Amino acid sequence: MKDKKPKLTYSIIIICLIVFGLELIVGFTHDISPIFNEYGFSWDNVLQERYSVFLTSIFLHGNATHLVLNMIALLIFGRIVEIELGWKKFLLIFLVSAIVGQLGILASTFLEFLPADIPTIGISAAVFGLMGTAMLIKPFEFIMYPYLIPIPLIFIAVFYTLYNIAAFIIVFTTDATSNVSYVSHIAGIAAGMFFGFREERSKRGLIAILILLGLLILIPFMWTIFSEVESFNYVNIIKELFE
């Protein structure tokens, strides 16, 4: 039975806003970085048995832009999942996606891709998990994120998935640096898609993803064909035939 209102989604947004408000209050008089270091998620904090960071790090945000973008995404994707699957499955997907994202961070740190003492904060992994579920159960839901034009959810989800994979590869195969935890995003998406695949309605989403990926693969070939056709000069060929 569908929930008429995504109350848990709204509640999590309110919690994040309250926590950020407290961050601002502390930041006016003190250096906020010790709070991020203590309550953010990092390899060092886990080794020091601060297991609470699995939860506390989710609700911290580095700045207003970080917060607003995550809250908009949570409102859009969380609302869809909670209304379609109910608050219990929503909460399960939210928490599991966040934790899987954090495990991705631990794995990257173990492989020396990430420093052990730099904390990761934010709700992004959980949001990407909800997006992974939403794109399978409601692929053709029109949303207005991130631009103010209606776009099918599946297009946004596939784009962000491919973008994060590409960015992850670039960051860890070059000297590029980034303060974005792409690995946790990818892990979150994978966890969310796992839950999405368990729903019967995911068949439409899977078909849509395969079609989109097929089109993306064909684009370079189609571009080459169009370029060849465009450069094909029929007039000169006809002249050569009669010379």
Count other C-beta atoms under 10 Å from residue 174's C-beta. 8
Q: Provide long-range contacts, Cβ within 8 A and 24+ apart, for 174-182.
A: 179/62, 181/101, 181/105, 181/120, 181/122, 181/124, 181/125
What residue segments make up the domains of the chain, in order of their start?
A: 7-218
Tens of pLDDT along 143-177?
A: 877 667 788 888 888 888 888 888 888 887 777 67
The answer to whether the pTM exceeds 0.95 is no
Confidence at residue 212, expressed as pLDDT on a 0 to 100 scale: 67
Confidence at residue 209, expressed as pLDDT on a 0 to 100 scale: 74
Q: Which CATH number is correct for 7-218, 3.90.550.10, 1.20.1540.10, 1.10.1740.10, 3.40.50.300?
A: 1.20.1540.10
